[in-house]
Homo-oligomer: A and B are copies of this chain.
Protein backbone atom coordinates (compact mmCIF):
# COMPACT_ATOMS: atom_id res chain seq x y z
CA UNK A 1 0.00 0.00 0.00
CA UNK A 2 1.45 3.36 -0.93
CA UNK A 3 1.86 6.02 1.70
CA UNK A 4 3.26 9.48 2.21
CA UNK A 5 5.97 10.20 4.72
CA UNK A 6 9.14 11.97 5.61
CA UNK A 7 12.32 10.08 4.87
CA UNK A 8 15.48 10.71 6.87
CA UNK A 9 18.30 11.32 4.42
CA UNK A 10 21.31 9.15 5.18
CA UNK A 11 23.29 9.69 2.01
CA UNK A 12 23.34 12.24 -0.76
CA UNK A 13 26.16 12.70 -3.20
CA UNK A 14 26.99 13.84 -6.66
CA UNK A 15 27.89 10.97 -8.98
CA UNK A 16 28.55 12.86 -12.20
CA UNK A 17 28.43 16.37 -13.60
CA UNK A 18 24.69 16.55 -13.29
CA UNK A 19 23.58 13.40 -11.46
CA UNK A 20 23.03 12.73 -7.79
CA UNK A 21 22.20 9.73 -5.64
CA UNK A 22 20.04 10.27 -2.58
CA UNK A 23 19.25 7.63 0.04
CA UNK A 24 16.66 7.98 2.79
CA UNK A 25 15.03 5.80 5.42
CA UNK A 26 11.31 5.08 5.21
CA UNK A 27 10.80 1.47 6.32
CA UNK A 28 7.04 1.20 5.74
CA UNK A 29 7.38 2.56 2.22
CA UNK A 30 10.52 0.62 1.47
CA UNK A 31 8.77 -2.63 2.36
CA UNK A 32 6.21 -2.09 -0.39
CA UNK A 33 8.57 -1.18 -3.21
CA UNK A 34 8.64 -3.21 -6.42
CA UNK A 35 11.08 -2.66 -9.28
CA UNK A 36 9.78 -0.22 -11.89
CA UNK A 37 7.61 1.69 -9.48
CA UNK A 38 8.36 5.29 -8.62
CA UNK A 39 8.08 7.78 -5.79
CA UNK A 40 6.66 11.28 -5.95
CA UNK A 41 8.97 13.60 -4.07
CA UNK A 42 8.81 17.22 -2.85
CA UNK A 43 12.18 18.85 -3.51
CA UNK A 44 11.58 21.29 -0.66
CA UNK A 45 8.83 21.20 1.90
CA UNK A 46 8.66 24.95 2.51
CA UNK A 47 9.46 26.48 -0.81
CA UNK A 48 10.29 25.73 -4.34
CA UNK A 49 8.02 24.29 -6.94
CA UNK A 50 4.36 23.55 -6.32
CA UNK A 51 4.20 19.99 -7.57
CA UNK A 52 5.99 16.80 -6.60
CA UNK A 53 8.55 15.21 -8.93
CA UNK A 54 8.35 11.57 -10.05
CA UNK A 55 11.58 9.59 -9.63
CA UNK A 56 12.06 5.86 -10.16
CA UNK A 57 13.14 3.47 -7.46
CA UNK A 58 16.83 3.15 -8.13
CA UNK A 59 17.64 0.89 -5.23
CA UNK A 60 15.75 -0.38 -2.23
CA UNK A 61 17.03 -2.10 0.86
CA UNK A 62 14.09 -3.55 2.69
CA UNK A 63 16.31 -4.73 5.55
CA UNK A 64 17.53 -1.26 6.44
CA UNK A 65 14.27 0.28 5.26
CA UNK A 66 16.00 2.57 2.82
CA UNK A 67 15.16 3.83 -0.64
CA UNK A 68 17.74 5.27 -3.04
CA UNK A 69 17.04 7.50 -6.03
CA UNK A 70 19.30 8.49 -8.89
CA UNK A 71 18.43 11.80 -10.45
CA UNK A 72 19.65 14.16 -13.07
CA UNK A 73 19.47 17.91 -12.50
CA UNK A 74 17.31 19.35 -15.25
CA UNK A 75 15.21 22.14 -13.77
CA UNK A 76 14.06 23.97 -10.70
CA UNK A 77 12.87 20.94 -8.73
CA UNK A 78 15.91 18.75 -9.18
CA UNK A 79 18.16 21.74 -8.61
CA UNK A 80 16.49 22.36 -5.26
CA UNK A 81 16.74 18.70 -4.39
CA UNK A 82 20.52 18.90 -4.57
CA UNK A 83 20.44 21.20 -1.54
CA UNK A 84 19.02 18.56 0.77
CA UNK A 85 21.60 17.50 3.33
CA UNK A 86 22.23 14.41 5.41
CA UNK A 87 19.83 14.23 8.35
CA UNK A 88 17.30 16.44 6.56
CA UNK A 89 13.90 14.95 5.83
CA UNK A 90 12.44 14.60 2.36
CA UNK A 91 8.70 14.37 1.80
CA UNK A 92 7.93 11.32 -0.31
CA UNK A 93 4.81 9.61 -1.64
CA UNK A 94 5.03 6.05 -2.86
CA UNK A 95 5.58 3.51 -4.10
CA UNK A 96 3.39 4.42 -7.04
CA UNK A 97 2.49 2.84 -10.34
CA UNK A 98 2.78 -0.56 -11.93
CA UNK A 99 6.33 -1.86 -12.04
CA UNK A 100 8.13 -4.42 -14.16
CA UNK A 101 6.74 -7.93 -14.31
CA UNK A 102 9.15 -10.50 -12.96
CA UNK A 103 9.53 -13.95 -14.53
CA UNK A 104 8.19 -17.01 -12.70
CA UNK A 105 11.34 -18.98 -13.44
CA UNK A 106 14.96 -17.97 -13.96
CA UNK A 107 15.49 -16.59 -17.46
CA UNK A 108 18.07 -14.92 -19.64
CA UNK A 109 17.18 -11.26 -19.41
CA UNK A 110 18.55 -8.22 -21.15
CA UNK A 111 18.36 -4.79 -19.49
CA UNK A 112 18.93 -1.76 -21.69
CA UNK A 113 19.33 1.66 -20.14
CA UNK A 114 20.16 5.05 -21.58
CA UNK A 115 21.40 7.94 -19.45
CA UNK A 116 19.53 8.42 -16.20
CA UNK A 117 17.05 5.83 -17.56
CA UNK A 118 19.37 3.26 -16.04
CA UNK A 119 17.89 4.14 -12.63
CA UNK A 120 14.94 1.71 -12.43
CA UNK A 121 16.99 -1.08 -14.00
CA UNK A 122 19.29 -1.32 -10.99
CA UNK A 123 16.63 -2.28 -8.50
CA UNK A 124 15.16 -4.51 -11.19
CA UNK A 125 18.52 -6.23 -11.67
CA UNK A 126 18.71 -6.88 -7.96
CA UNK A 127 15.28 -8.55 -7.98
CA UNK A 128 16.03 -10.58 -11.10
CA UNK A 129 19.29 -11.75 -9.60
CA UNK A 130 17.44 -13.05 -6.57
CA UNK A 131 15.21 -15.00 -8.93
CA UNK A 132 18.33 -16.58 -10.37
CA UNK A 133 18.16 -14.89 -13.73
CA UNK A 134 21.08 -14.54 -16.02
CA UNK A 135 21.36 -10.79 -16.52
CA UNK A 136 23.09 -8.78 -19.21
CA UNK A 137 22.98 -4.97 -19.03
CA UNK A 138 23.54 -2.67 -22.00
CA UNK A 139 24.12 0.85 -20.77
CA UNK A 140 24.56 3.81 -23.06
CA UNK A 141 25.65 7.34 -22.24
CA UNK A 142 27.45 10.22 -23.87
CA UNK A 143 30.81 9.67 -22.30
CA UNK A 144 32.66 7.67 -19.67
CA UNK A 145 32.01 10.03 -16.75
CA UNK A 146 28.27 9.63 -17.17
CA UNK A 147 28.41 5.88 -16.59
CA UNK A 148 27.54 6.17 -12.95
CA UNK A 149 26.16 2.86 -11.77
CA UNK A 150 29.00 0.44 -12.40
CA UNK A 151 29.62 -0.19 -8.72
CA UNK A 152 26.04 -1.12 -8.05
CA UNK A 153 25.89 -3.37 -11.10
CA UNK A 154 29.14 -5.12 -10.25
CA UNK A 155 28.00 -5.61 -6.70
CA UNK A 156 24.76 -7.19 -7.91
CA UNK A 157 26.83 -9.36 -10.21
CA UNK A 158 25.67 -8.85 -13.73
CA UNK A 159 27.36 -8.70 -17.11
CA UNK A 160 27.71 -5.06 -18.25
CA UNK A 161 28.20 -3.85 -21.79
CA UNK A 162 28.69 -0.08 -21.88
CA UNK A 163 28.29 2.11 -24.92
CA UNK A 164 29.43 5.72 -25.09
CA UNK A 165 28.87 8.14 -27.90
CA UNK A 166 32.48 9.25 -27.83
CA UNK A 167 33.85 5.77 -27.31
CA UNK A 168 35.66 6.72 -24.10
CA UNK A 169 34.65 3.34 -22.77
CA UNK A 170 32.99 0.27 -24.29
CA UNK A 171 31.19 0.33 -27.59
CA UNK A 172 31.42 3.56 -29.53
CA UNK A 173 27.96 4.69 -30.53
CA UNK A 174 24.34 4.26 -29.66
CA UNK A 175 23.28 1.54 -27.30
CA UNK A 176 20.79 0.39 -29.93
CA UNK A 177 23.65 -0.12 -32.37
CA UNK A 178 25.47 -2.11 -29.73
CA UNK A 179 22.31 -4.16 -29.35
CA UNK A 180 22.06 -4.88 -33.07
CA UNK A 181 25.82 -5.53 -33.40
CA UNK A 182 26.60 -7.62 -30.40
CA UNK A 183 23.53 -9.29 -28.97
CA UNK A 184 22.41 -12.69 -30.16
CA UNK A 185 18.61 -12.54 -29.97
CA UNK A 186 18.30 -16.26 -29.53
CA UNK A 187 20.04 -16.03 -26.18
CA UNK A 188 17.50 -13.59 -24.71
CA UNK A 189 14.15 -14.49 -23.12
CA UNK A 190 12.99 -11.02 -22.04
CA UNK A 191 14.06 -7.40 -22.46
CA UNK A 192 13.55 -4.48 -20.05
CA UNK A 193 14.35 -0.96 -21.09
CA UNK A 194 14.28 2.61 -19.84
CA UNK A 195 15.78 5.70 -21.43
CA UNK A 196 15.11 8.30 -24.10
CA UNK A 197 12.09 7.46 -26.26
CA UNK A 198 14.03 7.01 -29.52
CA UNK A 199 16.25 4.50 -27.74
CA UNK A 200 13.31 2.59 -26.31
CA UNK A 201 11.67 2.65 -29.72
CA UNK A 202 14.76 1.05 -31.22
CA UNK A 203 14.87 -1.57 -28.50
CA UNK A 204 11.17 -2.40 -28.92
CA UNK A 205 11.66 -2.77 -32.64
CA UNK A 206 14.56 -5.14 -32.12
CA UNK A 207 12.50 -7.14 -29.65
CA UNK A 208 9.48 -7.38 -31.90
CA UNK A 209 11.55 -8.33 -34.93
CA UNK A 210 13.10 -11.12 -32.94
CA UNK A 211 9.97 -12.19 -31.18
CA UNK A 212 11.32 -11.36 -27.75
CA UNK A 213 8.81 -10.08 -25.19
CA UNK A 214 9.73 -7.10 -23.08
CA UNK A 215 8.78 -3.98 -21.19
CA UNK A 216 9.61 -0.28 -21.20
CA UNK A 217 9.21 2.42 -18.59
CA UNK A 218 7.61 5.63 -19.88
CA UNK A 219 7.60 9.24 -18.72
CA UNK A 220 4.92 11.90 -18.85
CA UNK A 221 4.48 15.12 -16.89
CA UNK A 222 2.51 14.39 -13.74
CA UNK A 223 0.50 16.25 -11.16
CA UNK A 224 -1.06 13.73 -8.76
CA UNK A 225 0.89 10.53 -9.50
CA UNK A 226 -2.06 8.36 -8.45
CA UNK A 227 -4.51 8.45 -11.35
CA UNK A 228 -6.71 11.22 -9.95
CA UNK A 229 -5.94 14.21 -12.14
CA UNK A 230 -5.82 12.47 -15.53
CA UNK A 231 -2.86 14.67 -16.37
CA UNK A 232 -0.28 12.11 -17.46
CA UNK A 233 -2.36 10.88 -20.37
CA UNK A 234 -0.86 9.15 -23.37
CA UNK A 235 -2.05 7.05 -26.26
CA UNK A 236 -0.10 3.80 -26.37
CA UNK A 237 -0.92 3.23 -30.01
CA UNK A 238 -1.77 5.91 -32.54
CA UNK A 239 -5.15 4.35 -33.29
CA UNK A 240 -6.22 4.15 -29.62
CA UNK A 241 -9.25 6.18 -28.56
CA UNK A 242 -8.45 5.92 -24.92
CA UNK A 243 -5.59 7.63 -23.13
CA UNK A 244 -3.78 5.55 -20.53
CA UNK A 245 -2.39 7.23 -17.41
CA UNK A 246 1.33 6.71 -17.12
CA UNK A 247 1.26 7.08 -13.32
CA UNK A 248 -1.38 4.46 -12.64
CA UNK A 249 -1.51 2.16 -15.66
CA UNK A 250 2.28 2.36 -15.93
CA UNK A 251 4.95 3.67 -15.94
CA UNK A 252 5.90 0.19 -17.21
CA UNK A 253 4.18 -1.15 -20.32
CA UNK A 254 4.88 -4.19 -22.45
CA UNK A 255 6.27 -3.75 -25.94
CA UNK A 256 3.05 -5.34 -27.20
CA UNK A 257 1.00 -2.51 -25.73
CA UNK A 258 3.07 0.39 -27.04
CA UNK A 259 3.76 1.77 -30.47
CA UNK A 260 6.62 4.19 -30.00
Total copies of the chain: 2
Q: Is A80 an interface residue (CB 8 A)?
A: yes
Q: Shortest Cβ distance from A52 into chain B, in angstroms?
A: 16
Q: Is A76 an interface residue (CB 8 A)?
A: yes
A8-16, A41-49, A57-65, A182-190 - interface stretch: A41-49
Give the residues in chain B near A79, CB-CB below 8 Å: 46
Bound CA span A110–B224, Å: 60
Give the residues in chain B near A47, CB-CB below 8 Å: 44, 47-48, 76, 80
Q: How large is the interface on A (under 10, 10 to 19, 20 to 34, 35 or more residues)?
A: under 10
List A32-57 residues whose CB lies under 8 Å from chain B.
Answer: 44, 46-48
A72-109 vs B: 1/0 string, CB under 8 Å? Answer: 00001001100000000000000000000000000000
Give the residues in chain B near A48, CB-CB below 8 Å: 47
Question: What residue in chain B is nearest A48 (Cβ atoms)?
Answer: B47
Bound CA span A48–B48, Å: 6
Bound CA span A44–B46, Å: 12
Q: Shortest Cβ distance from A201 into chain B, in angstroms?
A: 35
Bound CA span A47–B48, Å: 5
Q: Shortest Cβ distance from A226 into chain B, in angstroms?
A: 26
Bound CA span A79–B47, Å: 10
A residues near B (Cβ < 8 Å) are: 44, 46-48, 76, 79-80
8 contacts between A and B (CB under 8 A): A44-B47, A46-B76, A46-B79, A46-B80, A47-B47, A47-B48, A47-B76, A47-B80
Q: A46-B76, A47-B48, A47-B80 are in contact. List 5 more A-B contacts (CB 8 A).
A: A44-B47, A46-B79, A46-B80, A47-B47, A47-B76
Which 4 pairs, one residue from A and one from B, show the smallest C-beta to C-beta distance?
Answer: A47-B47, A47-B48, A47-B80, A46-B79
